Amino acid sequence: MAFDIEMIKAVYSKYPERIEAARKAVGRPLTLTEKILYAHLDQGDATQAFDRGVSYVDFKPDRVAMQDATAQMALLQFMQAGRNQVAVPSTVHCDHLIQAEVGANADLSKAKDKNREVYDFLSSVSNKYGIGFWKPGAGIIHQVVLENYAFPGGMMIGTDSHTPNAGGLGMIAIGVGGADACDVMAGLAWELKFPKLIGVKLTGKLSGWTSAKDVILKVAGILTVKGGTGAVVEYFGEGANSLSATGKGTICNMGAEIGATTSIFGYDEKSAAYLKGTDRADIAEMADGIKEHLNGDAEVYAQPEKYFDQVIEINLSELEPHINGPFTPDLAWPLSEFAAAVKENGWPAKLEVGLIGSCTNSSYEDISRAASLAQQAVDKKLLAKSEYTITPGSEQVRFTVDRDGFLDIFDKMGGVVLANACGPCIGQWARHGADKQEKNSIITSFNRNFAKRADGNPNTHAFVASPEIVTALAIAGDLTFNPMKDTLTNENGEQVKLDEPAGLELPSKGFAVEDAGYQAPAEDGSKVEVIVDPKSERLQLLEPFAPWEGSDLAGLKLLIKAKGKCTTDHISMAGPWLRFRGHLDNISNNMLIGAVNAYNDETNKVKNQLNGEYAEVPAVQRQYKLHGVGSIVVGDENYGEGSSREHAAMEPRFLGVRAILVKSFARIHETNLKKQGMLALTFDNPADYELIQEDDSIDIVGLTNFKPGVSLTVILNHADGSKDEIKVNHTYNAGQIEWFKAGSALNLIKAGV
């Protein structure tokens, strides 16, 4: 569980020289993001690196973190890389496969039994290759990372889209696919297009019902789910310095919902306090020694419009609590306007369930503030009208809040404590009655609220708010309740009002834990055997993808033209499908089953051009693969937004889809497609999306001259004999084109290229 102090010393030792060199090279002051990225450059000069949104740059991250659902495929790939041990500190966290149903102990016990094969695989492969292993029940990856591994000025990649949580401690932490993690663990550089920069200036100070969560809910409303695409969001100002480190983590965590590459805060007294409170005083002391390099230059923050591509200013003293949703995390409502919105839109006002916790809001501060409201409910004789669940972020947090009496308070209010795991937030929720698909409302302190995500019910209206607001509304059982001004009727028939929540950033008696759930790897893993049963339904060793045949692609069948939002949840659903994350063939049976077919407005029903019949998407694609026919998927804007899951790229590749052609891509998904040897293409003219017809046979021309910056041509051969030729673009650089030619990035690693 050691936080690699020597590695951190090495990182800090290069900061002064590297940052001064960068400042001289570009001839101007630097943002914090630029400082950290330049300090982690693998090669190249600062002038090229700082070409925002244009140049791909190689970086050397300091560490890798993987959650259990994505770690399976990442480590199955790493096993093919020919390495004896990971090249950078790496960890696996068992948090995604634990299904919430009745309560922490029973759910955890059931998960250990149900997922034993996967846990044994992850434990043994971690043991063999020098990877730290966090057992099921230890906690959610991002909270555990914040408590143990995040450090100011560091750079980490993680196989989960909410990896940016570590930005709360001043770390550039970026969500990636497993293939990227495999590269870094193999000792290779990691490539990223140098991001644009969005500056968020925070003034004033939070008070009353408003919390750090409301900052990102407000920002999401401003930027929308794609407004941060290709950018890093850097927070600064006196307001930023007033926020707790875990509050900053909440903001950075949910930055994934605006499409941001990552989000970050500078190092300050709150950062130092959290490091000291989590037994990392030596890191705080080291960070103090280079503090000026762990913040943007003063000139940048004095005139941010000169140095950021976009600047947003939020006065925390004036900020209202927000509630976002339903069905999208960027539909932002100030609390004072929310009740009217519920009524005007006909959303179910009765609140069925309130859920707090998750990787976004499960800190000691979050739970203590929610507990202060739960205590009021008990003291003021208010019975909670809604179901209420609490998901601690880590065993350390759970143990500490239990010691301090908060779990008892929740119990008296009628709350149910779930396992230290993702649970309902990622669809691991055996919600009773969800199969009836009744129209209902829930509110959570999670980060995502896409349709069907939490419970599989498309009619569940999911809203996102702070733990405090979630708790207050759960007590009321009514979405139209405004705790800032409304009263409730208690058991005695009296009108009572909830007081403002109160809590502590850090426990006054310090954190405590009996068993954090960490397993250190074997010192010598050469004798550790990793066994995968060839008959397993959960795990499957990988076979290399075939290299490009060296010619243009002709006669591709249109598999589906996806209409509207098509997230990675639509492409490769989570929930019950998580059990197949280590078995590419089995999980491919969920490929694109959530995408809406533009020709019939139905999901999982597409035309098989071989026989003219309609069938499920995976079944049709398997028929194409059986007959040696390639295919293409067409999509809309921001295709592949959401989770980092690379299965959304590997499944089409495995089943024989050759290209994905869309109006625009979400960053992580586009990279994942490239890594797997797929063609990720965008319409030069987005209106050409309308030219695609259901019976089209499609050619992709220009691949024999595939070069960076050179467009390709797509020929649409329509069933009536007519044709359309359209121009399509790509963002492949020379190295990525080699991935395509080799069949995948992993094929190049194995070849030693």
Please choose, from the candidates 705, 368, 351, 703, the residue with its C-alpha nearest in 3D space to the C-alpha of residue 556: 703
Query: Could you give the 3-state DSSP secondary structure of residue 547?
Result: coil
Task: Judge contact between 462 and 325, C-beta under 8 A.
Answer: yes
Burial (CB count <10 Å: 0-12, 13-18, 19+), residue 309:
middle
Catalytic residue among 40, 93, 96, 398: 96
Helix (H, G, I), strand (E, B) or coil at 332: strand
Q: Answer yes or no: 448 catalytic.
A: yes
DSSP E strands, 459-514: 460-464, 488-489, 495-496
Short-list 184, 83, 115, 100, CA closest to 583: 115
Whether the Cβ atoms of residue 220 and residue 333 lie closer than 8 Å to each other: no
Enclosing H/E stretch for 657: strand 657-662
**If you search the block for the tokens 């017809």, which residue do you land on?**
693
Alpha helices, DSSP H, located in 40-154: 46-49, 68-78, 104-114, 116-129, 141-148
Instruction: Label residue 232 exposed, middle or buried (CB < 10 Å: 0-12, 13-18, 19+).
Output: buried
Closest CA to 62 of 9, 12, 8, 5: 8
Q: Choosing from 162, 322, 448, 581, which is the catalytic residue? A: 448
C-alpha 642/C-alpha 640 separation (Å) is 6
Compute the distance between CA of residue 139 and CA of residue 153 in angstroms, rounded to an integer: 24
In this structure, are residues 360 and 422 in contact, taking their beta carbons and an 8 Å threshold? no
**Per-residue CA distances from 493 to 292, 381, 472 (Å):** 58, 10, 19
Task: Give the N- to C-terminal CA distance of the chain in Å, as an integer.
Answer: 34
Give Rg (Cα) of the chain.
25
Whole-angstrom distance, CA of residue 681 vs CA of residue 655: 19
Known active-site residue 96:
yes
8 Å CB contact between 670 and 599: no
Amino acid at 132: G
Token reading at 315: 């006065």
CA dist 712 and 569 (Å) reads 29
- 116-129 and 68-78 are packed helices; what angle lies between their axes, rounded to 10 degrees? 50
Q: CA 181 to CA 178: how far, in whole Å?
A: 5
The Cα-based distances of 557 to 395, 609, 627 in angstroms read 50, 7, 12
Q: Which residue has the tokens 């280079």?
A: 290
Stated as kind and residue range, the H or E segment containing 501 is none
Asked if 664 and 640 touch (Cβ cutoff 8 Å), the reply is no
658 is catalytic: no
Regarding beta strands 440-444 and 351-357, do their DSSP bridges make them parallel or antiparallel, or are they unpaired?
A: parallel
Residue type, 440: N
Q: Which of 643, 644, 667, 669 is catalytic?
A: 643
Looking at the DSSP assignment, which residues form a beta bridge with residue 639?
Answer: 665
Q: Does the annotation count 95 as an active-site position? A: yes
Residues in the chain: 753
Among residues 62, 68, 95, 478, which one is catalytic?
95
- The one catalytic residue among 62, 107, 160, 696: 160
Give the CA distances from residue 588 to residues 177, 487, 580, 618, 677, in Å, rounded to whole numbers and listed in that order: 17, 51, 9, 7, 17
SS3 of residue 634 by DSSP: strand
Phi and psi angles of residue 717, each rounded to the nearest 5 degrees, phi first: -95, 105
How far, in Å, CA of 114 to CA of 430, rounded?
14
Give me the torsion for CA of 247, 253, 257, 258, rounded to 10°.
70
Point out the residues that are catalytic.
95-96, 160, 448, 643, 645
